[in-house]
């Protein structure tokens, strides 16, 4: 059996789909369905069982072995970058992850977990080294601290553990995320509603809409996760991006092009940069992919034009 925490969420449900595509259905999904809308992400998936995240943690504490486990994909977390209840975030993201890590290490079960590019803060170098990390919010800090917890234990762990620092992920099954959904998702909806995309004016020396991020399609994220499952000798902290920064204007233009190809007009409006985000916003990210490439990962990543087209095709079908 394979366990996917956060399995009804964005990346987790896509990992479940990726496993299903391999003919793997013996999957235990762990999540919090307090927001029942997330069930839509699993409606077309085949799984073995479901457990609430609190019930799952209780069973871990009770030394419940769950039988033979081939791997754990730990995608569950409070992912809101605007959540400032630090006690809540640390309990859900840090303490929960520590408990699951301990459980996996004792059983020599491969453990793959979601970290985040947000750990780099406003820096300009995105390499998996402590000197380049300075988180700007509670979400980022919780991910950063778990990475540090793991670093201190590397030499004492003899099973596969890999942390994946996701950059700006977009793609199917993120509709439940609301304001935290990707800009590609929001741009498509804005174009349907008004024919106009809204982007921030300039910030941090970047012109209107020219803030740049490393945007990665969720299918590429799933491919990295499943590759790690196939390569038990690979462990460590890895950036998961494309290795190239593209502007928000690029994403907007890709979405507009998709809609125009269907006879729908579109344009861009620039809105004032919010005061609440000043000093807490990553105006530039670009993954240094050296570590993952050195580990042997060779597959190429989609650029924004191809990735956004693929995503909007999916949204149109669904």
Note if 91 is an active site residue. Answer: no
Calculate the dihedral angle through the C-alpha atoms of 113, 119, 124, 130, rounding to the nearest 10 degrees.
Answer: -90
**Which residue of the set 120, 139, 141, 185 is catalytic?**
139
Which of the following is catalytic: 177, 206, 270, 297? 177
Catalytic status, residue 139: yes
Q: Which residues are catalytic?
A: 139, 177
């Amino acid at each position: 059996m394979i366990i996917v925490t956060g399995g009804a969420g964005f990346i987790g449900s896509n990992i479940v789909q990726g496993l299903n595509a391999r003919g793997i259905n013996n999957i235990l999904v762990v999540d919090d369905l307090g927001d029942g809308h997330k069930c839509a992400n699993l409606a077309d998936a085949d799984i073995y069982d479901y457990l609430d995240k609190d019930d799952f943690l209780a069973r871990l504490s009770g030394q419940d072995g769950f039988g033979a486990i081939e791997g754990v994909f730990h995608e569950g977390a409070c992912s809101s970058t605007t959540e400032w209840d630090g006690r809540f975030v640390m309990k859900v993201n840090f303490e929960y992850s520590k408990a699951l890590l301990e459980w996996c290490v004792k059983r020599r079960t491969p453990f793959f977990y979601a970290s985040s590019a947000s750990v780099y803060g406003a820096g300009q170098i995105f390499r998996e080294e402590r000197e380049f990390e300075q988180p700007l919010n509670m979400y980022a800090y919780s991910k950063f601290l778990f990475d540090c917890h793991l670093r201190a234990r590397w030499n004492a762990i003899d099973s596969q553990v890999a942390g994946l620092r996701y950059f700006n992920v977009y793609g199917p099954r993120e509709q439940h995320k609301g304001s935290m959904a990707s800009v590609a998702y929001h741009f498509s909806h804005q174009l349907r509603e008004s024919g106009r995309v809204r982007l921030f004016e300039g910030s941090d020396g970047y012109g209107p809409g020219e803030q740049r991020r490393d945007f990665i399609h969720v299918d590429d994220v799933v491919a990295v996760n499943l590759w790690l499952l196939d390569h038990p000798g690979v462990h460590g902290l890895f950036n998961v991006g494309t290795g190239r920064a593209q502007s928000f204007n690029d994403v907007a233009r890709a979405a507009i092009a998709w809609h125009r190809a269907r006879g729908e007009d579109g344009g861009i409006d620039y809105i004032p940069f919010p005061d609440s985000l000043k000093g807490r916003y990553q105006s530039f990210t670009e993954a240094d992919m050296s570590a993952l490439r050195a580990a042997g990962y060779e597959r190429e990543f989609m650029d924004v034009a191809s990735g956004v087209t693929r995503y909007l095709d999916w949204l149109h079908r669904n």
